[in-house]
Structure 1
């Protein structure tokens, strides 16, 4: 006779433990210790105690969820954004700016094995001059959602406010959504990009099917009434300007034109201070020959050219090289040349590198510049500034320079993205 076994559902109760947070990591998580293990808890600040349950328990660390906070830190503040805690854009609006900066300084110091005394910061709100918002058509309501992704999810938070955006862009959120919802082709809209240039805001609209003449007319009217430049992107590689003029921003008093798709630093205030600090640290003299690696379209290169005898900018993206050359001509700088090169190859073999360089600046992407460091060492500059958007790869790349006899003279944490987990920095190396 066959027997059938029906297992009863086993009910387990998660144990509630009480912890006190000792630190804040760069991602806004409180750090505590439990049974000799590091414990990360979202939403808790240093010196706060709480009853929590474990949500993840690994060999080296664990994660917890707050059930009841038992005390409040004096550095706890009320988040400005109504979407905070749901939207994945910001992680630290509940912490004071001073605490955020101290935690990032400490994290950078741990990785670099030395104290970080300098912080380069600007306005903590209304700083973000670029944003990409997802669009999602809802068949039930026949309305478009427009916003950012939820934390650790693909769902969209339908944002009506975003206090980290520059005010001109934040003011567009509600009227732009209303405009897009009137379009016949709203089902085929992919995303929007908003950029604040020095000569006004611009909008890039990605659409996956042709827009009707009526829809294009509505969008153009909206661009005129809102005082923005309008670009349409029927394909990911195509950009059609409908209205407005080409965007530009200033760096060290120079005008840099750019395409809406070009990389520019999101935080203009910190970018201006970062460029000024790099120029000061390098101490560029009139007779100096300077190399700028990963130069983009000339954010550092052109200000360097105002002070040096000659500057070489090297970049791996051809479109940015062309834009750098255009910006040099626009600013009447004739002592600067841009080159498109694979920066993993030995740049010292290029004809323009034969005479060497006195100073070098490099600003690589998150992967850092492991393939470049040995070539830089061969060029033997007296001073070098490394601008980093990833402290882990900065620490790795720095080891090669330290072994070659360079010393760290100055180091600063760049508060480029307040309220987020992004940690940027810059370091001055000098050869003794």
Structure 2
């Protein structure tokens, strides 16, 4: 197949993946690495009847918002897509992605646009899943994120979105893995950072040897980390070295809450933004003593416990039995179990009857995964809460669910805004508030 020829274009906008968008002869073209207002040359790598996707070859007229990427692996590593765009412009672009999704998919515009929630743009990623591959042709062990559009592992020496101590540890991790008895049977290292504690979970496909164990022990002591092993699924993970050590936890000081978690549990990657998002969420939800509030997709209680701390009674629902147990344990540890109850249920199969079984609810918090909460919003009946706060990690599914809430369920989209949970990437985290009836 003949390689597509290089062409020139002027970039009109950014799409939801951080790619430049232009139109040539009526065809939409997405160009990776291009920014609005720039004149570039590009070469397509995917050509379809209605659209093309390509890579920038040369920036002829750069945008004033273009900056030099901090990471030497940017453009090869698939972990970041927006390091070439100034940080404030990234936030503005994400706000436009949210607004465009709400309008074009949900046919709704928020009555109020909330100020963006922002924080540090480097060193913020407290959770990560690093792939490990033995590639002799590239020097041995590779540790990092996948390359763009590839299952190959980017040969990373550092990563500025990880906390500095973890970024600096990557070369030593490579040396550690290279010395194992079966380095090609250790496909993944999961990283979890809590309050003063760093855990590395090594996924391994063969039993470790005594020599491997000794290497792990020396590494844990030298680096001041906990080494865990995961021979099977996430629940199989266990601490190897040191034998006795405190567990992971993060705090929400504004609400006097400490959340214990296992390194393989789902938690927000950006703890600083999570704290500010929590403040914004509680302001918008406004929990009050005597109210009964449901927290759907509650996880280990990230939102549930602050709601309870503010005096309301919380009904948390989550699909994972393990996370439900963790939420209940966290409620006990924080002295909030009298104002909390937690249930395991598949919310992707929610019905009007299953929601009604939770009892009368004054307000509702929804924090679903990328798939959104379409079954939940469709199941809302006449007795549904008058206020819903929806925390989303996918503008498209938020917009889809917004259409149901505003067109079928009688809600108004009172406000929406973004939280820059993943700087340097195109990922958009957002929060939206819906109300119906005569809510004060």
Name the TM tier (shorter chain). Answer: over 0.9
Counterpart of 2:106? none
Asked which structure has the greater RCO (Cα within 8 Å, sep 6+), the reply is 2
Q: Deviations over 1:201-242 (max 9, x none)?
A: 111011111111121121012112211111111223521212
Number of the residue aligned with 1:357:
361
Structure 1 stretches of 4+ with a deviation exceeding 4 A read: 12-16, 139-142, 347-352
Q: For residues 14 and 372 of structure 1, do their structure 2 counterparts lie closer, same or farther at Cα, with a shift above 3 Å needed?
A: closer
Question: Structure 1 residues 35, 117: CA separation in 2 closer, same or farther (over 3 Å shift)?
Answer: farther
Task: Work out which of the residue numbers 269, 274, 280 in structure 2 matches 1:271.
Answer: 274
Which of 327, 335, 351 pairs up with 2:339? 335
Give the CA deviation at 1:421.
1.9
> Where do 1:305-344 residues align within 5 Å?
305-333=308-336, 334-343=338-347, 344=349
Which of 374, 379, 392 is 1:370 aligned to? 374
Aligned residue among 148, 166, 179 for 2:145: 148
Give the match for residue 3 of structure 1. none
Displacement of 1:84 after TM fit?
Answer: 0.2
Deviation at 1:59, TM superposition (A): 2.8
Match of 1:97 in 2: 87
Question: 2: distance between equivalents of 1:318 and 1:225?
Answer: 36
- The answer to whether the 8 Å contact 1:27/1:92 transfers is no
Residues 382-427 of structure 1: CA distance to partner in whole angstroms, max 9, x if unpaired? 2110111111111111112112221111101121111112112110
Aligned with residue 183 of structure 1, among 152, 177, 180? 180
Q: Is the 8 A contact 1:26 1:100 kept in 2?
A: no
Paired residues of 2:292 and 2:363 also in contact (CA < 8 A): yes
- Of the structure 1 ranges 311-320 and 19-28, higher mean CA displacement relative to structure 2 is found in 19-28
Picking from 217, 222, 225, the partner of 1:220 is 217
Deviation of 1:156 after TM superposition, in Å, equals 1.1
Normalised by the length of structure 1, the TM-score is 0.92
- Matched with 1:420 is 425
Q: Deviations over 1:100-137 (max 9, x none)?
A: 11111111111112364531121111110011111112
Instruction: Tell me what 1:25 maps to.
Output: 15
Aligned length in residues? 421
Change (3 A) 1:167 1:129: same
Matches within 5 A, 1:116-265: 116-139=113-136, 143-237=140-234, 238-242=236-240, 243=242, 244-251=245-252, 252-265=255-268
Cα distance in structure 1, aligned partners of 2:139 and 2:57: 38
SS at match of 1:109: helix
Structure 2: gaps of 5 or more residues: 104-108
Coordinate RMSD, CA, aligned: 2.0
Check conservation: 1:185, 1:212, Cα contact below 8 A. no
> Quick check: which has more Rg, 1 or 2?
1
Aligned counterpart, 1:81: 71
User: Which stretch has the larger CA shift, 338-347 or 103-112?
Assistant: 338-347
Q: Rate the CA distance shift 1:142–1:80 in 2: closer, same or farther, 3 A.
A: closer
Aligned equivalents of 2:402 and 2:293: distance in 1? 20
